[in-house]
Structures are given as C-alpha cells and as structure tokens.
C-alpha cells in the first residue's frame, strides 16, 4: 500500500504539490487555515481536517509548507500539534524555507517521539510546483530520505540529500543568496537597456542565450519589461528568506554585501505596500529611482 500523505499549507505552491501526491494515488489528508483553499483538493478526494494534529494522526508522511519559521514552530510544537499526534514510525517533512536551527530542533524532538523529521525546502516557484519540476534539497536521516523519496518524486525533478538535519535549509539559503543578487542584476540590466534607447525584449533575446542566460533573466526579466508583478513567489517571503540567510551568515562570521543590498531594496518594496507581489516587482524600485 502507498503511504498516506498529510499536507499542511495549501498556498500558491502547496496547492499544486499536494495535488501531485493525490494524482499519484496517495490517500491525502489536508489542513489549511483558510479552509476554502482546500476545496479543489477535497473535490478530488482529499480529506480535510480541522487542525494539523489531526492530519498527522491520519498520515504516514506529513508535509508542511507554511509561511514563516514561527508558523513552522507552531504547527509542530503546539499542544496537540504534529509532534504530539504523529504516528510512530512516520516521517515528517518540512518543505517551508525556514531556519536551519529550527530544523535541527524539530529533528531532535521527532526522534524523541519515535518519528523522523526531514527539512526539505524547494526551489522553482509556482511554475515548478505546478509542473512537478521543483528542486528539493533535503536534510536529515538517510533512511527516512529513502522512505520519503517516492513521495518527493511526485513533486520534484531534482531531489538531493544534502546531509544531516538543517542541511536542506542551508542549501536553500545558498540558493536564495544567488537569486538575490541576480535579481538586482536583471533589474539593472533592463533599466540600463531602456535608458540606452534599446528595446529590452530584443536585448533579452540576445543576452538571454549567452553567458547571462538564466530563468531569472529570461522568465522574470520578461515580466519586469511588461510590468507584470503577479506573484509566483511573494516579496515578503523572499525578505523572510534573506533575513534568515543574513542571520546565519552573521553567525558564521560572513559578510555578504550583495545580500544586504538586495534585502534593503526588497524591504523598500514591502514598506511601499508591494509585499504581496512577485519578486520581479524589484523593478518598481528602479522605476522609482529613475522616474
């Protein structure tokens, strides 16, 4: 029998990720604070529960995809939550981008209760989630990783075990650091092209096939040109990720000036009321500077 899967957090990405496990034939148990977001999955056969603990009690593999480290801590550690109600021998997988230290705490607490916890943040945004092409970076016990891999493969195309608890989150921080400075470069490239009197779409047609080629340039760069700021990944979540990365960098004695600059510009977006837009909304800052 296939393991029963629980999924907690049905946002832009979680909705698609949970749907892939259901399509693969797993019995699916779900919870979301806004119940209406579970409607489509329930119509397809998922079972909706009233709280995270009830999902854990019904599932062999429990996946969380929530917003912030505080949300992760709440669903795992609150009385009657996931850790209190998890089945013996089950695997708990937090796919939220969160704190490496919190991932280690969850893994330790899970072990004390006879279950195993993995940290498995993802990269690929809403498109990767929708197309089941996410990159999934996993930290934690190797045997639990093997046990959970068939479920992870329903959601991702590149799944890697990075090491002990917290290693998945550290890998995601490296990913977000690379994205942060690249987004600055994309916005500045388009700003420069326009000021030089060039057609930025034609510029991307050319440089997007050379050494500068990337999803951020060819995908989000096109959205910047069109001023399409609909979210595939929220600005305020990216600020959260950069803040975690900077805190970890400080703990390790690292100075990351590119990341500091990127967060300061994205903080400006949040202050200006654009936190619910996609990360390509960074282009707004350059428009404002050069208005």
Cβ–Cβ under 8 Å, residues 173 and 162: no
Whole-angstrom Cα distance, residue 177 to residue 244?
10
**Nearest C-alpha neighbor of 240 from the set 38, 102, 82, 93:** 102
C-beta neighbour count of 152 within 10 angstroms: 22
What phi and psi values does residue 61 have, to the nearest 5 degrees?
Answer: -130, 125
Catalytic residue chosen out of the listed positions 37, 172, 223, 240: 172
Per-position DSSP letters for 34-74, written without gaps between them: SGGGGHHHHHTTPEE-SSHHHHHHT-SEEEE--SSHHHHHH
Strands 134-139 and 156-163 turn out to be parallel
In DSSP terms, 93 is beta-bridged to 63, 118
Q: How many residues does the chain have?
A: 291
Residue 166, both tokens: 């917290």
- Residue carrying structure tokens 């991307």: 204
Plot region of 88 (φ>0 → left; ψ -120 to 50 → alpha; else → beta): beta
Whole-angstrom Cα distance, residue 163 to residue 168?
7
Catalytic site residue 172?
A: yes
Active-site positions?
A: 172
């Amino acid at each position: 029998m296939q393991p029963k899967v629980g999924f907690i957090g049905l946002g832009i990405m979680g909705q698609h990720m949970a749907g892939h496990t259901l399509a693969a034939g797993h019995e699916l148990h779900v919870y979301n604070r806004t119940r209406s977001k579970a409607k489509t999955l329930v119509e397809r056969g998922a079972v909706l529960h009233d709280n995270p603990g009830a999902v854990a009690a019904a599932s062999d593999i429990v996946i969380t995809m929530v917003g912030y480290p505080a949300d992760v801590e709440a669903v795992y550690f609150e009385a009657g939550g996931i850790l209190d109600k998890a089945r013996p021998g089950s695997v708990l997988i937090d796919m939220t981008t969160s704190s490496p230290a919190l991932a280690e705490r969850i893994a330790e607490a899970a072990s004390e209760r006879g279950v195993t916890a993995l940290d498995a943040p993802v990269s690929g945004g809403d498109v990767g989630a929708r197309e089941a092409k996410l990159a999934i970076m996993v930290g934690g016990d190797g045997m639990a990783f093997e046990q959970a891999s068939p479920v992870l493969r329903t959601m991702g195309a590149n799944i890697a075990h990075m090491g002990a608890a917290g290693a998945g989150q550290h890998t995601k921080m490296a990913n977000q650091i690379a994205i942060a400075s690249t987004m600055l470069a994309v916005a500045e490239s388009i700003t420069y092209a326009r000021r030089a009197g060039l057609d930025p779409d034609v510029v991307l047609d050319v440089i997007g096939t050379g050494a500068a080629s990337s999803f951020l340039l060819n995908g989000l760069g096109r959205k910047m040109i069109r001023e399409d700021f609909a979210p595939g990944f929220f600005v305020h979540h990216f600020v959260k990720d950069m803040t975690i990365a900077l805190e970890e960098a400080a703990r390790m004695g690292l100075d990351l000036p590119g990341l500091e600059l990127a967060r300061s510009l994205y903080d400006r977006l949040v202050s200006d009321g654009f936190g619910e837009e996609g990360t390509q909304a960074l282009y707004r800052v350059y428009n404002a500077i050069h208005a």
